[in-house]
Amino acid sequence: MKSSASSARRIELFTERAGYAETSGDHIADFDWFRRALDSEDIWFFTAGRGYLRYRDGREHILRRGVIALLRKGDNVEFHHKAEDEKLCTFYFHFRTNAGGTKSSHAPLAIPPLLEVGDTAFYEACFRRVLFLVQSAAAISPSLHASAVEDAQHLFESILRQLEFEHHLATQKLQSGVNTHQQQLIFDLITKYYQQPEQFWNGKDGPPSSQSYCRDHLARLFRRITGKTPKKVLIEARIEKARNLLRNTNLSIVQIADELGYENQFYFCRQFKALTGLAPTKFRQKSVKTPEKQSRNQEQ
């Protein structure tokens, strides 16, 4: 017999349409694709790499580690991945809301279309567990199959509730004087930082001033909205671009540091290791396959 919590469930996970994907090379899913393919709701959680969501009104948001995208039926978006960008890795789950029978179950999800989580490792572990339960369910005995699917469903619901809670807390913080225009201004700045991190300030004086706000006020807004300092976001953007350059080019460490706007390679190497756990040379050795390894893998 189902519990009262199960009978009031408002979210149904489509277990056969859950998975993990890696996108590389030039790839576009256009507006028409989303209108045709989305018959309910999708949630994407990005664990590595970079891509873009573009909206009909011209807005563009970067997809990167820690970003969650919630897509609903009829969304006017495009998905883009560029060949020069790092491979984009994504957990994806298809689900339906309003699956319960009670009036309270019909409340819409209080999650925005794009959300950046603070504890990325926590959510990665949770989504990985849901996918493991879903994929293992088909391989185990019939008596355990239903139990595994139900466990996946409960965990998925808990994740969405936690995301709603975190978004609620963030909204409460924003009520202290931050409006929609200011949020969009900061999000646009972050997008620019990731597109061309070498073009911006050196991180000592805060973000560049805009027509509406001075540098100091913009830095305070940045911290209030994102929970991070502008300097931290810029460093993360620089290191992400450095990872791409180390993987996909033959530029030397000195050349990469110079291209990213660092005054010297030693400071660059120290920041790179602090964020990735590896020195740039070690990262390149682990990331780039030699011709001998590639040919051996092809033979196998």
DSSP state of 105: G
Question: CB of 85 within 8 A of CB of 51?
Answer: yes
Distance CA 132, CA 8 (A): 25
Note the maximum CA span of the chain. 66
Q: Where are the alpha helices (DSSP H) in 201-264?
A: 215-226, 230-248, 253-259
Does the pTM exceed 0.95? no
What is the number of helices (H) and of strands (E) in the chain?
Answer: 11, 9
pLDDT in tens, the chain (300 residues): 333 343 444 688 888 889 999 998 899 988 887 877 777 889 999 998 889 998 888 888 889 989 999 988 878 889 999 888 888 999 999 998 865 444 444 567 788 888 888 788 889 999 999 999 888 866 666 667 778 888 888 899 889 988 888 777 766 665 555 666 777 778 778 878 887 888 876 544 445 555 566 778 888 888 877 778 888 888 888 988 898 889 888 999 999 999 998 888 999 999 999 988 889 999 998 876 543 344 344 343
pLDDT at residue 289, rounded to an integer? 52
Cβ atoms of 269 and 246 within 8 Å: the answer is no
Residue pLDDT, tens place only, 214-237: 778 888 888 877 778 888 888 888
Spell out the domains of the chain, with CATH numbers in brackets.
4-174 (2.60.120.280), 181-287 (1.10.10.60)
Q: Are 134 and 149 in contact (CB under 8 A)?
A: yes
Query: Are 46 and 65 within 8 A, CB to CB?
Result: yes
Q: What pLDDT is stored for residue 295 in this prediction?
A: 38
Q: Residue 75 and residue 228: Cα distance in Å, rounded?
A: 29
Contact predicate 87/213, CB 8 Å: no
**Residues 6 or more apart whose Cβ sits within 8 Å of residue 258:** none
| 57 Cβ neighbours under 8 A, 6+ residues apart | none
